[in-house]
Structure 1
Amino acid sequence: MAIAEQTVHPDGRVELTDPDAVANSPYGNAELAPTRLPERNWTTYNYAALWMGMALNIPSYLLAAGLVQLGMNWLQAFLVITVGNLVVLVPMLLNSHAGTKYGIPFPVFARAFYGIRGANLPALLRAFIACGWFGIQTWVGGQAIYVIVGKLAGDGWTNASAIGGHAWTLWLSFTFFWVLQMLLIWRGIEALRSFENWAAPLVLVGFLALMVWIVAEAGGLGPILDQPSQLGWGAAFWKLAAPSLMGMIAFWATLSLNMPDFTRFGGSQKQQAIGQALGLPTTMSLIAILSIITTSGTIVVYGEAIWDPVVLAARFENPVVVVIGLVIAILATMTTNVAANVVSPSYDFSNAVPKLLTYRTAGLVTGVLGILIQPWRLISDPSIYIFTWLGFYGGLLASVAGVLIAGYWLVERTHLSLADLYQPGGRYWFSAGWNWRGVVATVVGSLLAVGGAYSNPGAGPFPADGLIPFLKPLYDYSWAVGLVVGFVTYLVLAKTASARQRNTAHAAPMF
C-alpha cells in the first residue's frame, strides 16, 4: 500500500497532501482523520472560553469546598489548588502540541507510542474514567433540576416516594439532564464551541452572585477569612496537603492527555497555548476563591461547612433566586461535562472500532456507561471523591502522560509520519499493532503510583496498609510517581531499542 505524503506549512502545521489517503484504512474514519487546515480555526478566545466553561463547574467548586470541609483554611486550600493547576498545565501544553501540529485526536496521537492497536489501552483507560466523570456531572446537574422544580412544585415533588434511596423525581431529573446533554453532543463539535462561548460568562456571573450573597449574610469578608485552620501549618497540614495536591492535579489529568482532541482545531500553536494558559490556571484559581469564601461563609451563617452549592442554593428562601442560581449551575455542568467528558471518550471508543462507532454513536455509549458506573456513590463523600477517585485514576493516567511526553518530545523530536498512524504494516505497527515498550512503561508507572493505594479505616475501599504495603508511601504522590516512572521507563526502553537497531545496522555485512 502506498504511503501518502504530508505537507509541512510555513507555520509548522502538517497535513496530508492527499486528505483522502487514509479514508479506506481499517483504522480510520471521518472523525479520526487529520483535521484539514481550513477547519483548524479555533482562536485564543475559543480555548480560553473552553477552559472557562470546563473549569467553572460544580465539581471544581467541590474541590476547594471539600478541602475546607476536611479542615484547611481559605489560604491553604487556595494554595493547594493553584499549585496543582500550574503543575498540570505543563504536561497539558506538551501533549497539546501534537494536536495542533498534525490535526489528530488523542487516540491517534497515542498510536505513535503504543502501536495502532495498542493505543486502545490508554484510549479506553481514559474513556472509562471520562464515563465516570460524565456520570458525576450528570448527577450534579440532575440534582439542580430536582431542587428547581421542587421550589416551584412544592413538597409533592421533593418528598416523592424513594427508589434506590432517592426520590423518583430525582431520578427523573437525572434522566432529563442526561438526554439534554446527549442532544448537544449529537450536534457536533462546532455546536459545542458555540455553546461554550456564550455559556461560560453566564456561569461566572452565577458563581459570583452566590459568593456575594453569602458574604453579605456573614457580615462581610472579615468573619470568613478569620476562620482558623483545623490543621495548622504543621505535620497535620502537610500530611493532608500531599495527597490533596495529587488530587487537584488528577482533576485535570484526563485533559492533560486528550487536549489534542481540541487543539487539533487550533489556528496556531501560539493561539492554543496562550488560550489554555489564560483559561485553566486563572479560572481554577478563581473558582477556588469563590468556593472557599462561600463555603467558609456557610460556617459563619449556618454553623457548618456546606460544600455542595446545590444544597446551599436550596436553603435560599426566594424561589426566583433559587431558580436563577440553579439554572446557572446547570449551564456550568453542561459546559464542562460535554466538553471534558463526552468529546474524549467519543473519539476513544470510535478508535477501538472506527468502522462501527462514529463520534456521535460513541457519545451515546459514553452516556450509557456514565449511568452504569453509579456516580451518586462516587460523589457522596469528599474523602472518597478527592483521595480515592481522583488520587487513584490520576496515578494511572500520569504514567500514560509520561509515555506520550517522552516519546513525542525526546524520542520522535515532534516528528511523526501522519499517514503511518492509520496504516497497518507501517512505522507504527510495531509487533502486530502493539508497541510493548509503551505498555510496559505504563504498567510499571501505574503499579508504582497506585499499587500502594490505601484508605483510612472506614473511609474508602482500599486496605489501611495499602494494596501492596511497601508501596503505600508512594500513593500520596501518585500522579508525580506515575508521570516520572512512565516517562523514564519509556525513554530508556525506546533509546535502548534505537541503539540496538543502529548497532545491528553497523554490523551488517557489506556486499
Structure 2
Amino acid sequence: MTATDNRTATDPPGSASTTLYSYDLAPTKKEGRRWGAYNVFTLWANDVHSLGNYAFAIGLFALGLSVWGILLAFVLASVLLFLLLTLSGYMGHKTGVPFPVMSRIAFGTKGARIPAAVRGIVAIAWFGIQTYLASAVLNALLVAMFPRLQVLETSSALGLSTLGWITFLALWAIQVLIVSYGMHVIRKYMAIAAPTTLITMCALAIWMFVRAGGSISISTSQPLTGGAMWLQILQGAALWVVIYGTFVLNFCDFTRSAKSRKSIIGGNLIGIPVNMLFFAGIVVVLSGAQFKLDGRVITSPTDIVQTIPNLILLASASIALIILTIAVNLMANFVAPIYVLVNLFPQKLNFRRAGLVSAAIGLVILPWNLYDNPVVVNYFLGGLGALLGPIFGVIMADYWLLRKARVNVPDLYTDNPDGEYHYRNGYNPKAVWAFVPAAAISVIVALVPVFEVVAGFSWFVGAILGAAIYAVIGDRKPEFRDVDGEAIAVAAE
C-alpha cells in the first residue's frame, strides 16, 4: 500500500520489469479517476496567483507596459497555454501514466530518465525557494503580531535567521505531511485553497482601489509606445508561457486522474483564459493603485499586505498568501520530483518516501542562498528551464504527429528488447539527436547577452526546433496498437 491511494495495488503483469514498474508508476484505472473540471480549475486558481507570478506581472508595469498592454499580453499567453496544456493533458487522460513514464514513449524506457531528471531538478530547487518566500511572509506576520520575536532575526546560521529557520522548517514540515497522504489529499487541499486565494486577492484589490480614490494609474510616467511596446507585450506573453514550461511537461501527473476529456477542457477553459484575465485585472489594480497613491512601483503583493493597518486583516491576508504558496509548491514543485525519484528507484521508493527525499534535498540546498544569488537563478535554473522547450517539442511530435496518439501502454513497462519503446538498449537515439541541437540553441538564446532581445522566446525556439527535427528524423509507425492501459492498471488516484 502506498500514499497514492488507500487500496492495495495489484501485482505487475508478467511482462513488466521491476525496474520500470511500481504501484505509483502504473496507469490509473478509469474507476479510480476522481479529478473533475473543478479540480483541474483549482490547479490554475492556485498556481496562477502565486507570489512569483505576481512579481513577474507587476514587473511588466514597472517596465512601462500600460494596463491595456498587460491585459493583451495575458490574453495571448492564456490562449497559447490553453492549447499547450490541453494537448499535454489529453496524453495523461489517454494513457493514465505520469510524466516519467510518458517520456518513455519518445526517449525510450531508459532514456526517459533524461527529461524526467531535468524536470525534477528544476522543481526541487523551486520547491525550496517557494517555501523560503512563504516563510518570509510568515516571518513578517509573526513580528507584527509579536514584536519581541524580532530579536530572533538578529542571529543567523547558514545564511538564514533563527526566526527564518523556525518558519521555514514549519512550512516545510506541513508540506511533507500533506504529500505523505498522497494525491487525493493534495487534490482536497487545492480545492480549499483555491477559493481562499481568489477571495483574498480580490478583496485586496478592492481595498487598494478604494484607497486610491476609486481610480488607478493606467501606466507609469514613461510608458512604452510603438514597436518597443509591442515587443514587450510579445515578450511578456512568451515569458508567461515559459513560467509554465515545467507544468506543460508534467500536467499528465494530474490529468491521469481526470474523469474525462471534458473535465480537462472545462477546467482549463475556466482556469486558464478566464482565471488569467482575472489575475491580470488584480495585477493592474494593485500596481496602478499603488502608483497613483505614492508613485511607487511595488514588486509583489506582500509589499501591499505589509501596509495593511488592521492586524486582523493583515493576519488574514498573510495566511492566505501562505496557503496559496503551499498549494503552488505542492502541485508545481513537489509532485514532479516525487514521480522522478519513484521512476529511478521503483523497488525502493513509493510516493511517500520519494516525497521525503525530495523535501530533504530541497532543504539541504539552502534555497534562500540560491534565491539571493542572481547568477544561480539566471544561469543555472534559467539554463535548465531552457531545456524544457526541446523536451516538450520532441514528446509532442512523437505522440501527436508520428504515433497519432496510439500508445502500447504495457510495453512502457517492459525491458524486453522486442518492446515498442526499448529502441537501442532502452534509448531512442533519434529523440536525443533532435533534443541536443534544439537544446543547445535554446540555451544560447536564453543566456547569451547578444540575444537578450529575443531571450524571452527561448522556450518556443527550443520547442519548435525539437518538434521539427524529430518530426523529420523520427520513425512513423502507423501499425502501433492502441492498447488500453487497463490491462496493467491499478486502482490509484
Q: Which amino acid counterpart does residue 343 of structure 1 have in structure 2?
A: V
The answer as to whether partners of 2:193 and 2:327 remain within 8 angstroms in 1 is yes
Aligned to 1:362: 354
Aligned to 1:405: 396
Aligned to 1:451: 444
Structure 1 window deviating more from structure 2 (310-319 vs 21-30): it is: 21-30
1:465-480 aligned at under 5 Å gives the runs 465=450, 475-480=455-460
Alpha-carbon distance between aligned partners in 1 of 2:358 and 2:66, rounded to the nearest angstrom: 37
Match of 1:192 among 186, 190, 193: 186
The answer as to whether partners of 2:64 and 2:224 remain within 8 angstroms in 1 is no
Alpha-carbon distance between aligned partners in 2 of 1:388 and 1:247, rounded to the nearest angstrom: 16
Aligned to 1:10: none
Distance 1:404 1:161, change over 3 A: same
Provide the secondary structure at the position in 2 that maps to 1:342. helix
Distance 1:98 1:498, change over 3 A: closer
Aligned to 2:330: 338
Instruction: Give the number of aligned pairs.
Output: 466
Q: Which amino acid counterpart does residue 351 of structure 1 have in structure 2?
A: N
Alpha-carbon distance between aligned partners in 1 of 2:17 and 2:449, rounded to the nearest angstrom: 53
1:124-139 aligned at under 5 Å gives the runs 124-139=117-132
Provide the secondary structure at the position in 1 that maps to 2:299. coil
Normalised TM-score (structure 2): 0.88
Alpha-carbon distance between aligned partners in 1 of 2:19 and 2:160, rounded to the nearest angstrom: 45
Q: Which amino acid counterpart does residue 173 of structure 2 have in structure 1?
A: V
Does residue 396 (structure 1) correspond to residue 376 (structure 2)? The answer is no
Match of 1:285 among 277, 281, 297: 277
| Deviation at residue 229 of structure 1 after TM alignment | 6.2
| Deviation at residue 81 of structure 1 after TM alignment | 2.7
Match of 2:243 among 229, 236, 251: 251
Alpha-carbon distance between aligned partners in 2 of 1:382 and 1:289, rounded to the nearest angstrom: 29
| Deviation at residue 375 of structure 1 after TM alignment | 3.9
Aligned to 1:76: 69
Distance 1:219 1:25, change over 3 A: same
Does residue 236 (structure 1) correspond to residue 228 (structure 2)? The answer is yes
Does residue 415 (structure 1) correspond to residue 406 (structure 2)? The answer is yes
Distance 1:76 1:269, change over 3 A: same
| Deviation at residue 299 of structure 1 after TM alignment | 1.7
Distance 1:278 1:346, change over 3 A: same
Match of 1:56 among 29, 49, 71: 49
Alpha-carbon distance between aligned partners in 2 of 1:370 and 1:225, rounded to the nearest angstrom: 40
Distance 1:338 1:22, change over 3 A: farther
| Deviation at residue 292 of structure 1 after TM alignment | 2.3
Provide the secondary structure at the position in 2 that maps to 1:485. helix
Q: Which amino acid counterpart does residue 309 of structure 2 have in structure 1?
A: E
Alpha-carbon distance between aligned partners in 1 of 2:373 and 2:426, rounded to the nearest angstrom: 42
The answer as to whether partners of 1:150 and 1:157 remain within 8 angstroms in 2 is yes
| Deviation at residue 210 of structure 1 after TM alignment | 1.0
1:98-124 CA deviation, whole Å, 9 max, x = no partner? 211121111111101000010011111
Distance 1:39 1:148, change over 3 A: same
Aligned to 1:86: 79
Aligned to 1:30: 23
Distance 1:91 1:393, change over 3 A: farther
Match of 2:206 among 185, 207, 212: 212
Does residue 142 (structure 1) correspond to residue 135 (structure 2)? The answer is yes
Does residue 442 (structure 1) correspond to residue 435 (structure 2)? The answer is yes
Alpha-carbon distance between aligned partners in 2 of 1:360 and 1:18, rounded to the nearest angstrom: 19
Match of 2:462 among 482, 490, 503: 482
Distance 1:440 1:408, change over 3 A: same
1:10-55 CA deviation, whole Å, 9 max, x = no partner? xxxxxxx997456653211110011122102321122112221222
Provide the secondary structure at the position in 1 that maps to 2:21. coil
Alpha-carbon distance between aligned partners in 2 of 1:193 and 1:277, rounded to the nearest angstrom: 19
Structure 1 window deviating more from structure 2 (41-50 vs 96-105): it is: 41-50
Q: Which amino acid counterpart does residue 182 of structure 1 have in structure 2?
A: V
Aligned to 1:66: 59
Structure 1 window deviating more from structure 2 (480-489 vs 439-448): it is: 439-448
Provide the secondary structure at the position in 2 that maps to 1:127. helix
The answer as to whether partners of 1:448 and 1:474 remain within 8 angstroms in 2 is no
Aligned to 1:175: 169
Aligned to 1:14: none
> Which has the bigger relative contact order, CA under 8 A and spacing at least 6?
2
Alpha-carbon distance between aligned partners in 1 of 2:336 and 2:461, rounded to the nearest angstrom: 24
Provide the secondary structure at the position in 2 that maps to 1:451. helix
Does residue 272 (structure 1) correspond to residue 267 (structure 2)? The answer is no
Alpha-carbon distance between aligned partners in 2 of 1:248 and 1:478, rounded to the nearest angstrom: 12
Alpha-carbon distance between aligned partners in 1 of 2:299 and 2:462, rounded to the nearest angstrom: 30
Distance 1:217 1:388, change over 3 A: farther
1:276-331 CA deviation, whole Å, 9 max, x = no partner? 22212222221222122112222222431122222321222221111000011111
Alpha-carbon distance between aligned partners in 2 of 1:278 and 1:390, rounded to the nearest angstrom: 30
| Deviation at residue 95 of structure 1 after TM alignment | 1.8
The answer as to whether partners of 1:62 and 1:307 remain within 8 angstroms in 2 is yes
1:168-203 CA deviation, whole Å, 9 max, x = no partner? 212321221111111100111001111111221011
Alpha-carbon distance between aligned partners in 2 of 1:19 and 1:372, rounded to the nearest angstrom: 35
1:318-333 aligned at under 5 Å gives the runs 318-333=310-325
Distance 1:18 1:318, change over 3 A: closer
Structure 1 window deviating more from structure 2 (95-104 vs 149-158): it is: 149-158
Provide the secondary structure at the position in 1 that maps to 2:41. helix
1:194-248 CA deviation, whole Å, 9 max, x = no partner? 1111221011111011111111111112xx1433463422243344444433321
Alpha-carbon distance between aligned partners in 1 of 2:217 and 2:295, rounded to the nearest angstrom: 15
1:114-150 CA deviation, whole Å, 9 max, x = no partner? 0001001111111111112212221121112111111
Provide the secondary structure at the position in 2 that maps to 1:305. coil
Please, what is the CA RMSD of the aligned residues? Answer: 2.6
| Deviation at residue 71 of structure 1 after TM alignment | 2.6
Provide the secondary structure at the position in 1 that maps to 2:163. helix
Alpha-carbon distance between aligned partners in 1 of 2:95 and 2:396, rounded to the nearest angstrom: 16
Does residue 263 (structure 1) correspond to residue 243 (structure 2)? The answer is no
Structure 1 window deviating more from structure 2 (249-258 vs 133-142): it is: 133-142
The answer as to whether partners of 1:150 and 1:158 remain within 8 angstroms in 2 is no
Aligned to 1:460: none
Alpha-carbon distance between aligned partners in 1 of 2:352 and 2:403, rounded to the nearest angstrom: 32
State, as a whole percentage, how many aligned pairs show the same letter: 29
Q: Which runs of 5+ in 1 are unaligned?
A: 1-16, 455-462, 467-471, 500-511
Q: Which runs of 5+ in 2 are unaligned?
A: 1-9, 479-493
Alpha-carbon distance between aligned partners in 2 of 1:388 and 1:285, rounded to the nearest angstrom: 31
1:436-475 CA deviation, whole Å, 9 max, x = no partner? 1112212121111121334xxxxxxxx6346xxxxx6653
Q: Which amino acid counterpart does residue 464 of structure 2 have in structure 1?
A: V
Alpha-carbon distance between aligned partners in 1 of 2:423 and 2:23, rounded to the nearest angstrom: 24
Aligned to 2:449: 464
Q: Which amino acid counterpart does residue 134 of structure 1 have in structure 2?
A: F
Alpha-carbon distance between aligned partners in 2 of 1:393 and 1:336, rounded to the nearest angstrom: 20
The answer as to whether partners of 2:71 and 2:281 remain within 8 angstroms in 1 is yes
